[in-house]
């Protein structure tokens, strides 16, 4: 990485320029930001000095103070989401205190908000040529969400949040503008307070059937001020070799000048399983043929009776998930307290919250403690610093489910109604034994960032950021001895214990110099130069033992089958970037940038990789030629092109060895085998994206319309080629071979439907499409076949990634009129064909917010997704393998259901179970009652509110399985199916907020 090491000394020289020669007298700007219509304060609004990094955030009363402002003419800008940006020009004199108040007009179009960029500066949205989605948590009813992923659901076009399970604590997949990588993760880069942090969505050491935990969920939504989403390479190129999947930028809450403002909240809620699970069926009959003729059978199914093998007598059914239920009514409770305030030199935000959640199973529980301390300080008139720290300590317990015989859903749906007196109707063994598996994670995570800004001259600022993300997990698996009878499972009966210690570290340091200067009377420039160093490490060790001493959980009590293991991973990245912006009359902005990266995961024969970008933004409505009118009040056109990347996996470029033991002269000795054949020419995957769009404010900005078209081309995709055994190496080797395309449109329509003194009603419609295509896997590479059962999905050229392929059911008919579809009455194709893809190609969300009389607020989120299929493997397995579904047992079942069951059982095709998974969900509804100010004063508080909310309240779909959003493989890259997965649960929460 020696090529860019010169950058940090150069920046350090700039940072240490003597301030004395350029020092000048300073003044103070203060004031208040209010709503122009109501006069009410707007807390959380941002006020900045244009062309500098100086600024402040308004307190609860809307007041702000910016200190140490250089003298002279200064343009002050105030902005907050949902309002039009306003600027005022003032003259600052030495030692003076200048007052600037802002009355912001509500606006359905937002182009003046501030976005934190990779250079460490805040940039106005109007200057950025790429589409950036922004969410303020002040606009989100926090009672309806329990994770940052749920905040994003349905609120940012181009962002797909794909929940995998209703298991409390389970992770979700997040895709921004589709999936781009065949082999690497498609999750976005996560940045918190300017620092890239761990975003592992498979953060649990044990396979519990499919689900896992996500490190994104460690972040408390109550501590978040704003989330910005950089959707693709055109916006994220300066983040380099990590950002091809987009970037989620989380900004936590900061302090403000003034007296301490306290905020306390509490949530109490119920969690319920509301799924209508199918019964298990068996047809009792009499055997008519063979040696057992005349005896009773419990499987006189439609195929047996059609062939004359049995005579049906009676249909029996049982539903163990309802009649011998494992479910309970879960309970959620949260208690939190925060304080913010400060002096002219130092501001602070402190918060602490404890949350305890009992899921719908007795062995599904979450408890966590979140602490945060954010401190901002003015060290000198030229130097400011912001320290952000967060700590989470948790105790998480997840149950088995999905592709695991120990799961509750699998045990219930695969059971037989004739076994209710022996196993309670469950498959294998009774439900009570499934409660005895204890799988826990105890994370301790510390997030810290230091952002310092040195402004020796009004036109120059040096921004340095250092960050640390430390996560220590202890994952444990325990089954106590004596719980399982030895005749049910002898291994479980003697007890088992495994302990995994996982230590993850992310270190980050960024230094950037930013300048602003005039070129001509109407032309200004801004130049940024910087560098970044990031290191990520992971150490994992585990120990396992079996045969526990009764009365203890300790590994010391294990007697045999001992196993130990250890893995380590260390990745380093160094990058340098330069960005140049030209601004003409503060209306036209053209920005060009380039970043160069070196990475320890690159092949040793591959050097730096370069990521260029260019963007343009033109605020047309402020041009003199634009006719001022109320129809098109605001108009901005924009475009961007950029390149970003993804680093190869750890050791993919390196030939490495695995330790083994070998027997030499009748004695075991240490030895090695080749673990992987590295490719010294390996380079990162590169994604280049072009986007074009516009933002328009219509009807005096009562309607806001945003539209974007994008096309992303990802090349140098990593693909494994099979190696000849004669080489004596590993069986495969990584090469940069593939190419993937994504394209689509995104749109947002914001409507201020009603704006009156006693009522306001806002409606937001978000829509998006995505068309994904695997263009090539590389010459000579056969389609990659995978998925549940080993052959349901493919990576095949000319089709979307993860596509479903099966031999199709071409036709069926009840030709003999006996009411049963027999094997010769089903026609199945000879060749597997494309049946659809697992990810939505279209999404439309409807978000409404109604406020009445200033004290009643009603919000709702309706989400529609379509264009995808889902493999209903649950019903497939029930009908084709266990033979306990209605369609295979009873001829009164619809012929279509019989046909797919017969095709599965007889011809081994699951095409009939790959179903249209389009759906519409009522995700959230909340009602907030705010106490009138006089009531609050009687209670000696500043504000008081009660919110009642519900989540996952209704689903409309033609999908016949448990739920069209679940995935047995959790957050797996592409493997997607419903297989014995816990469906989404319904949640009701009451939340009280008190400010004082």
Specify the range with the lowest mean pLDDT, choosing from 38-47, 180-189, 419-428, 785-794. Answer: 38-47
Across the chain, mean pLDDT equals 92
Measured between alpha carbons, how far is 874 from 275 in angstroms, rounded to an integer?
14
| 3-class SS letters over 386-444 | EEEEEEEEEEEEECCCCCCCCCHHHHHHCCCHHHCCCCCCCCCCCHHHHCCCEEEEEEE
Q: Taking residues 116-139, report their average pLDDT.
A: 89
586: exposed, middle or buried (C-beta count within 10 Å: 0-12, 13-18, 19+)? middle
DSSP at 279:
P
Measured between alpha carbons, how far is 888 from 901 in angstroms, rounded to an integer?
6
CA distances from 730 to 722, 725, 727 (A): 9, 8, 8
pTM for the structure as a whole: 0.92
Measured between alpha carbons, how far is 119 from 237 in angstroms, rounded to an integer?
11
The confidence band for 674, taking pLDDT boundaries of 50, 70 and 90, is confident
pLDDT tens digit sequence for 905-948: 999 999 999 999 999 999 999 999 999 888 878 888 889 999 99
pLDDT tens digit sequence for 11-64: 444 444 444 333 456 788 889 999 887 788 888 788 888 766 677 888 778 888
> Measured at the alpha carbon of residue 192, what is the angle toward residues 186 and 193, in degrees to the nearest 5?
150
Residue of 226, 217, 214 whose CA lies nearest to 45? 226
Specify the range with the lowest mean pLDDT, choosing from 331-340, 357-366, 631-640, 668-677. Answer: 668-677
Q: Taking residues 78-91, report their average pLDDT.
A: 83
Q: Taking residues 710-733, report their average pLDDT.
A: 87
pLDDT tens digit sequence for 434-491: 999 999 999 999 999 999 999 998 889 999 999 999 999 999 999 999 999 988 899 9
Q: Taking residues 171-193, report their average pLDDT.
A: 96
Measured between alpha carbons, how far is 154 from 861 in angstroms, rounded to an integer?
8
Measured between alpha carbons, how far is 440 from 801 in angstroms, rounded to an integer?
34
- Give pLDDT, residue 53: 64
> Taking 70 as the threshold, does the pLDDT of residue 172 lie above it?
yes
Measured between alpha carbons, how far is 155 from 861 in angstroms, rounded to an integer?
9
Residue of 73, 34, 68 whose CA lies nearest to 54? 68
Task: Yes or no: say if 652 and 245 are a contact pair by the CB < 8 Å rule.
Answer: no
Residue of 958, 914, 916 whose CA lies nearest to 804? 914
- Give pLDDT, residue 22: 39
Pairwise pLDDT comparison (411 vs 234), residue with the higher score: 411
Q: What share of the chain is helix, strand, coil (3-state, %, to 5)?
A: 10, 50, 35
- Beta-carbon count within 10 A of 20 CB: 8
Task: Yes or no: say if 674 and 655 are a contact pair by the CB < 8 Å rule.
Answer: yes
Pairwise pLDDT comparison (174 vs 125), residue with the higher score: 174
Phi, psi of 406 (to 5 degrees): -80, -5
669: exposed, middle or buried (C-beta count within 10 Å: 0-12, 13-18, 19+)? exposed
pLDDT tens digit sequence for 762-774: 999 999 999 999 9
pLDDT tens digit sequence for 272-301: 999 999 999 999 999 999 999 999 999 999
Task: Yes or no: say if 241 and 376 are a contact pair by the CB < 8 Å rule.
Answer: no
Residue of 151, 147, 124, 129 whose CA lies nearest to 231? 129
pLDDT tens digit sequence for 514-530: 999 999 989 999 999 99
Q: Taking residues 251-257, report their average pLDDT.
A: 92
- Give pLDDT, residue 21: 36
- Give pLDDT, residue 605: 87
Q: Give the rounded percent of residues in the chain with a pLDDT score beyond 70.
A: 97
- Give pLDDT, residue 24: 53
Task: Yes or no: say if 788 and 967 are a contact pair by the CB < 8 Å rule.
Answer: no
- Give pLDDT, residue 963: 97
CA distances from 834 to 517, 808, 842, 867, 913 (A): 57, 9, 19, 14, 14
Measured between alpha carbons, how far is 537 from 571 in angstroms, rounded to an integer?
6
The confidence band for 607, taking pLDDT boundaries of 50, 70 and 90, is confident
Pairwise pLDDT comparison (324 vs 92), residue with the higher score: 324
Measured between alpha carbons, how far is 968 from 165 in angstroms, rounded to an integer?
8
Rounded to a whole number, what is the distance in angstroms from the first to the last CA of the chain?
Answer: 53
Specify the range with the lowest mean pLDDT, choosing from 71-85, 285-299, 852-866, 882-896. Answer: 71-85
- Give pLDDT, residue 467: 95
Structure-token pair, residue 803: 């596509």
Q: Return the C-alpha torsion angle 79, 80, 84, 85, nearest 10.
A: 10
The confidence band for 852, taking pLDDT boundaries of 50, 70 and 90, is very high
Q: Return the C-alpha torsion angle 185, 189, 190, 193, nearest 10.
A: 160
Phi, psi of 721 (to 5 degrees): -100, 140
> Taking 50 as the threshold, does the pLDDT of residue 234 lie above it?
yes
Measured between alpha carbons, how far is 435 from 397 in angstroms, rounded to an integer?
12
Task: Yes or no: say if 863 and 845 are a contact pair by the CB < 8 Å rule.
Answer: yes
Residue-by-residue DSSP string for 197-244: E---S---SS-SSS----GGGGS-GGGEEEEEEE-SHHHHGGG-BT-T
């Amino acid at each position: 990485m020696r090529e860019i090491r010169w950058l940090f000394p150069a920046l350090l020289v700039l940072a240490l320029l003597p301030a004395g020669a350029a020092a000048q007298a300073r003044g103070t700007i203060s004031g208040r930001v209010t709503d122009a219509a109501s006069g009410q304060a707007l807390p959380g609004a941002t006020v900045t000095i244009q062309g500098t990094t100086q600024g402040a955030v308004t307190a609860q009363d809307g007041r702000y103070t910016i200190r140490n402002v250089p003298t002279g003419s200064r343009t002050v800008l105030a902005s907050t989401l949902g309002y039009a940006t306003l600027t005022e020009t003032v003259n600052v004199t030495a030692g003076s205190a200048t007052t600037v108040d802002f009355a912001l007009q509500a606006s359905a179009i937002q182009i003046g908000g501030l976005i934190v960029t990779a250079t460490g500066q805040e940039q106005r949205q109007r200057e950025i040529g790429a589409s950036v989605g922004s969410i303020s948590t002040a606009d989100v009813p926090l009672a309806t969400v329990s994770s940052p992923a749920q905040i994003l659901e349905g609120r940012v076009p181009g962002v797909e949040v794909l929940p995998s399970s209703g298991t409390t604590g389970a992770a979700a997949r997040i895709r921004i503008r589709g999936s781009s990588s065949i082999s690497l993760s498609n999750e976005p880069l996560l940045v918190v307070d300017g620092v890239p942090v761990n975003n592992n969505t498979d953060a649990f050491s044990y396979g519990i059937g499919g689900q896992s935990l996500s490190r994104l969920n460690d972040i408390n939504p109550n501590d978040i001020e704003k989330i910005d989403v950089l959707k693709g390479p055109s916006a994220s190129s300066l983040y380099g070799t990590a950002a091809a999947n987009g970037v989620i930028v989380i900004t936590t809450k900061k302090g403000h000048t003034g007296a301490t403002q306290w905020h306390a909240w509490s949530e109490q809620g119920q969690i319920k399983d509301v799924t209508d699970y199918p019964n298990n069926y068996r047809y009792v009959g009499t055997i008519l043929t063979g040696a057992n003729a005349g005896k009773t059978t419990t499987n006189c199914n439609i195929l047996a009776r059609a062939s004359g093998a049995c005579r049906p007598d009676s249909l029996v059914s049982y539903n163990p998930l309802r009649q011998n239920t494992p479910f309970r009514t879960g309970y959620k409770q949260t208690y939190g307290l925060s304080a913010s305030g400060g002096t002219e030199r130092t501001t602070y935000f402190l918060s602490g919250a404890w949350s305890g959640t009992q899921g719908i199973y007795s062995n599904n529980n979450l408890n966590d403690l979140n602490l945060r301390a954010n401190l901002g300080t003015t060290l000198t008139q030229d130097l400011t610093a912001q320290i952000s720290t967060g700590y989470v300590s948790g105790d998480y317990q997840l149950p088995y489910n999905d592709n695991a015989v120990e799961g509750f859903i699998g045990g219930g749906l695969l059971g037989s109604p004739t076994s209710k007196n022996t196993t309670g109707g469950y498959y294998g063994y009774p439900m009570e034994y499934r409660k005895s598996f204890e799988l826990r994670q105890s994370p301790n995570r510390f997030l810290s960032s230091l952002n310092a800004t040195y402004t020796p001259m009004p036109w120059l600022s040096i921004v340095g950021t250092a960050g640390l993300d430390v996560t220590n997990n202890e994952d444990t698996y325990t089954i106590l001895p004596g719980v399982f009878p030895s005749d049910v499972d002898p291994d479980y009966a003697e007890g088992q214990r495994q302990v995994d210690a996982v230590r993850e570290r992310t270190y980050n340091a960024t230094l950037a110099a930013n300048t602003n200067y005039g070129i001509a009377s109407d032309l200004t420039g801004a130049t940024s130069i910087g560098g970044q160093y990031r290191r990520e490490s992971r150490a994992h060790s585990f120990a396992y033992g079996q045969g526990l001493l009764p009365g203890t959980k300790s590994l010391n009590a294990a007697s045999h089958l001992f196993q130990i293991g250890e893995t380590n991973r260390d990745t380093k990245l160094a990058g340098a970037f330069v960005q140049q912006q030209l601004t003409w009359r503060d209306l036209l902005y053209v920005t060009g940038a380039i970043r160069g990266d070196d990475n320890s995961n690159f092949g040793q024969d591959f050097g730096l990789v370069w990521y260029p970008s260019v963007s343009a933004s033109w605020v047309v409505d402020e041009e003199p030629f634009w006719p001022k009118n109320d129809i098109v009040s605001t108009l901005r056109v924009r475009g961007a092109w950029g390149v970003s990347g993804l680093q190869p996996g750890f050791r993919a470029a390196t030939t490495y060895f695995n330790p083994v033991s070998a027997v030499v002269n009748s004695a075991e000795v240490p030895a090695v085998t080749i673990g992987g054949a590295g490719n010294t020419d390996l380079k990162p995957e590169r994604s280049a994206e072009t986007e074009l769009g516009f933002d328009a404010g219509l009807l005096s900005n009562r309607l806001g319309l945003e539209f974007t078209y994008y096309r992303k081309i990802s090349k140098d995709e990593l693909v494994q080629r099979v190696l000849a055994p004669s080489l004596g190496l590993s069986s495969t080797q990584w090469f940069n071979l593939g190419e993937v395309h994504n394209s689509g449109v995104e749109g947002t329509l914001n409507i201020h439907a009603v704006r009156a003194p006693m009522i306001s009603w806002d409606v937001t419609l978000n829509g998006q499409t995505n068309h994904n295509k695997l263009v090539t896997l590389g010459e000579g590479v056969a389609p990659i076949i995978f998925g549940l059962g080993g052959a349901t999905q493919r990576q095949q050229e000319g089709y979307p990634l993860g596509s479903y392929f099966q031999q199709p059911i071409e036709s069926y008919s009840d030709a003999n009129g006996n009411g049963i579809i027999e094997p010769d009455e089903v026609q199945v194709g000879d060749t597997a064909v494309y049946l659809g893809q697992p990810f939505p190609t279209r999404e439309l969300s409807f978000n409404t917010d109604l406020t009445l009389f200033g004290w009643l607020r009603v919000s709702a989120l309706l989400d529609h997704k379509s264009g995808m299929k889902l493999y209903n493997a649950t019903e497939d397995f029930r009908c084709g393998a266990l033979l306990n579904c209605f369609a295979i047992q009873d001829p009164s079942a619809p012929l279509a259901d019989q046909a797919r069951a017969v095709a599965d059982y007889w011809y081994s095709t699951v095409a009939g179970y790959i179903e249209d998974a389009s759906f519409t969900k009522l995700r959230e509804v909340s009602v907030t009652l705010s106490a009138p100010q006089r009531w609050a004063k009687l209670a000696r508080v500043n504000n008081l509110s009660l919110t009642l909310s519900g989540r996952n309240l209704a689903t409309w779909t033609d999908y016949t399985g448990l739920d069209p959003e679940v995935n047995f493989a959790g957050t797996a890259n592409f493997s997607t199916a419903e297989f014995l997965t816990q469906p989404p649960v319904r949640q009701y929460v009451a939340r009280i907020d008190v400010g004082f």
